[in-house]
Amino acid sequence: MSLRVQHIGTGKMRAVFLHGLFGQGRNFMTIARSLSDVATWSLIDLPNHGHSSWTREFSYDAMATAVIKELRPAGGSVVLVGHSMGAKVAMRVALKAGSLVNRLVVMDSAPVTRELNASLDETLDTMLAMHLPHLTSRTAADKVLAEACPDRAIRSLLLSNLQREANGEWSWNANIDLLRKNLSAISEWPSISGTYRGRVLWLTGTESQAVREGDEEAMQNYFPYLRRVEIPEAGHWIHADQPKAVSAALRDFIVG
């Protein structure tokens, strides 16, 4: 399996970012650039996203294994940062191959099963039904998607997966069909044993519903050396809503 990786920065520490559902490594570009002096960042496109390989099945453990294979040849350990779906992958990497993870950052996620937004089914069905050969522009795609997905920020994230080919036609660079069929699996936290005994920073948004009361116990069970930092006025995409606050928290955690 081939993973697309972009490298940012020249800092001494090695750091890796794993994005959320329908995201790409480049979603963390602004934060990585702001921290380029403290770490050399690897921004990974997870399987079935961005420019990485597509698979026939969805599996958190398979994604974690792909990330481990990407990290292992370089030797040493990294600061591993994951957001949402990518945070679940990052947690499993830490639990499976703790020696590769110097420190772990979990962004607005928890090791629990939590249903995704119910409207996502309809939104993805609309995306799959788009007749891409007749699509004239990204703006036209946005108009088609607006009825099923009125939230402009979510539409923007989804449409970031729309790419124009050399022949002028449009295509999806995310495996929309596979991900649509596996929304229930994406919402789950498959059973896994063990603990990660390194330092863990848990960043959550005060306006987000992704992390709820009781999730801290689940985090503590896997990650006993846990510190939670709440980012004010931030929803689920905390690194987009409050990039300066997230950068400051990461800088303190990495260099501290």
Residues known to be catalytic? 84, 177, 236
94-115 b/e with 16+ CB inside 10 Å = b?
bbbbbebbbbbbbbbbbbbeee
3-state secondary structure of 107: strand
Cβ–Cβ contacts within 10 Å for residue 1, how many? Answer: 13
Helix (H), strand (E), coil (C) string for 211-243: CCCCHHHHHHHHCCCEEEEEECCCCCCHHHHCH
Distance CA 124, CA 130 (A): 10
**Nearest-10 crossing angle of helices 85-96, 60-71:** 60
3-state secondary structure of 102: strand
Distance CA 69, CA 49 (A): 17
Q: Which two tokens stand for residue 190?
A: 């498959």
Q: Which two tokens stand for residue 226?
A: 């846990």
Radius of gyration of the chain (CA): 18
Distance CA 162, CA 127 (A): 10
Q: Which two tokens stand for residue 204?
A: 């959550």
